[in-house]
Amino acid sequence: MEEKKLIAGMDPDMLALHLAAAGIEERYSRRLLYWIYRRGIQSFSEPDDIPVRVKSALEERFLPGVNPPVSSLRSVDGSVKYLFSTAAGLPHETVWLPEGRRLTVCVSVQSGCRMGCSFCATGRNGWSGNLTAGEIVNQVVGLPDPFTHIVLMGMGEPGDNIDEVIRACRVFTAEWGLAAGRSKVTVSTVGVTPSVTRLLNETEVNITLSLHSPFPDERAEVIPVERRWPFTETLELMKEYGNSRRRRFTVAYVMIKGKNDSKRHLEELRRLLHGTGIRVNLLPYHPLAGDSEESADEETMMQFRHLLVTSGVGASVRKSRGADIAAACGMLAAGRSLRKRQ
């Protein structure tokens, strides 16, 4: 028997082709995508505006591709970490971050990661496989929680799975998809230069560069991909981009005590970013098991931010969320701390 096709991850044209091949009128493609992306249906019996004969034909050849998480953990700060699993058994985590009216979903693009960044639990635990666009989208559609913003900052490197990431971003932003809006979707990358170029040319989402250090030799010790794709290439692409649509370009800077929080680092950051419009997002470091490093303290981070801002570089300090359930930045490790929801 032919394997059923998953609709989640498709666009209207792709779905129309598959429907036609199955003998189903192509005109139902956008209506089906509405029910899947906006309503999160898990069965074709749910739509009330599609004929029974069409729903029967769909059930023979297709699956919606929307699946709920298998377990979850809730933080004392209200954040929730969800564990998903693909049909092939690839575990991946998603974090829901409520903060006032801003409801952010942090999604994964891979099960594990191949980048090997030393400060990240995901990279330390290796790589199991890429997620499809449908599996990336499912982390938003399959959640029980509402959202206002989507960030691709969970497990995996978007630049290492760029085809599926771009397809997912189109679903997130398109009118026929989730219609989240380009300004509400952000992709975080260590700077895989060819993939950053594609994100700039083929999407309108915001882009964040994970930097760690403004000095290439220091960065390469922690983020090995620096040796192949220097971060300066990504910064140049951001600087040269004709930003008429006012996309937000950001540098994520995880601050580690005694490693990258000195005056020397501050001065180099100011030199690199002054006048570019690229913001700096300062993040606390979350030590991993067996780690001797610790985060820069709050006073140092606030002073860092102040000196950046007064020199003309936009900057903010991101508050740590979900650390007690290993859901904070750099702590996702494919469900090792999750338990079944009761």
Q: Please write the tens of the pLDDT for every residue from 254-290.
A: 999 999 999 999 999 999 999 999 999 999 998 877 7
Q: What percent of the chain has pLDDT over 70?
A: 95
Q: Does residue 324 have a pLDDT over 60?
A: yes
pLDDT of residue 286: 86
Of 106, 117, 120, 329, the active-site residue reads 329
HSE-up (13 A, CA, CB side) for residue 6: 16
Beta strands in the chain (DSSP E): 5-6, 62-63, 71-74, 80-85, 91-99, 102-106, 110-112, 127-130, 149-152, 185-189, 206-210, 249-255, 279-284, 315-317
- The C-alpha atoms of residue 13 and residue 107 are separated, in whole angstroms, by 25
May I ask the CATH architecture of the domain 71-325?
Alpha-Beta Barrel (3.20)
Does the pLDDT of residue 322 top 90, yes or no? no
* Percent over 90 (pLDDT), the chain: 83
Given pLDDT bands bounded at 50, 70 and 90, which one contains residue 328?
low
User: 93 an active-site residue?
Assistant: yes
Cα separation, 19 vs 106, in Å, equals 32
Catalytic one among 93, 157, 164, 226?
93
**How far from the centroid of its chain's Cα atoms is residue 182's Cα?**
14
Residues 138-188: tens digit of each pLDDT: 999 999 999 999 999 999 999 999 999 999 999 999 999 999 988 999 999
How far apart are alpha carbons 226 and 219 in whole angstroms?
Answer: 7
**Residue with token string 């780690």:** 291
CA 258 from chain center: how many Å? 29
Are the beta carbons of 250 and 208 closer than 8 angstroms? yes
Whole-angstrom distance, CA of residue 292 vs CA of residue 271:
30
- Report the C-alpha gap between 49 and 40 in whole angstroms: 15
Per-residue confidence (pLDDT) for residue 296, from 0 to 100: 94
User: What is the mean predicted confidence (pLDDT) over 93-119?
Assistant: 93
Cα separation, 128 vs 263, in Å, equals 39
| Pairing mode of beta strands 5-6, 102-106 | unpaired
On the question of pLDDT at 133 being above 60, the answer is: yes
Q: What is the rounded distance in angstroms from the CA atom of residue 94 to the CA atom of residue 270? A: 33
**Higher-confidence position of 123 and 242:** 242
Predicted pLDDT of residue 1: 56
Chain-wide mean pLDDT for the chain? 92
The pLDDT value recorded for residue 36 is 98
Q: Where are the domains of the chain?
A: 5-63, 71-325
Give just the sign of the alpha carbon dihedral 263, 265, 268, 269: negative
Average pLDDT estimate for 318-339: 68
According to CATH, the topology of domain 5-63 is DNA polymerase; domain 1 (1.10.150)
pLDDT at position 53 over 60: yes
Instruction: Give the model's pLDDT for residue 339.
Output: 37
Q: Across residues 9-30, what is the average pLDDT?
A: 97
Inform me whether the pLDDT recorded for 115 exceeds 60. Answer: yes
Report the candidate in 222, 244, 223, 226 with the shortest Cα–Cα distance to residue 235: 226
For 190-237, write each residue's pLDDT tens digit. 999 999 999 999 999 999 999 999 999 999 999 999 999 999 999 999
User: Could you tell me which residues are beta bridge partners of residue 112?
Assistant: 127
Largest Cα separation within the chain, whole Å, is 69
Residue 341 has pLDDT above 90, yes or no: no
pTM: 0.93
Q: If pLDDT is split at 50, 70 and 90, which confidence band does 333 have? A: confident
Buried b (16+ CB within 10 A) or exposed e, 328-338: bbbbbbbbebb
Looking at residue 327, its pLDDT comes to 66
pLDDT on residue 291: 76
What is the rounded average pLDDT of the residues 322-326?
Answer: 77
Confidence of residue 246 (pLDDT cuts 50, 70, 90): confident
Tally of CA atoms within 13 A in the half-sphere of 136 that contains its CB = 33
Angle at 136 between CA 132 and CA 141, to 5 degrees: 130
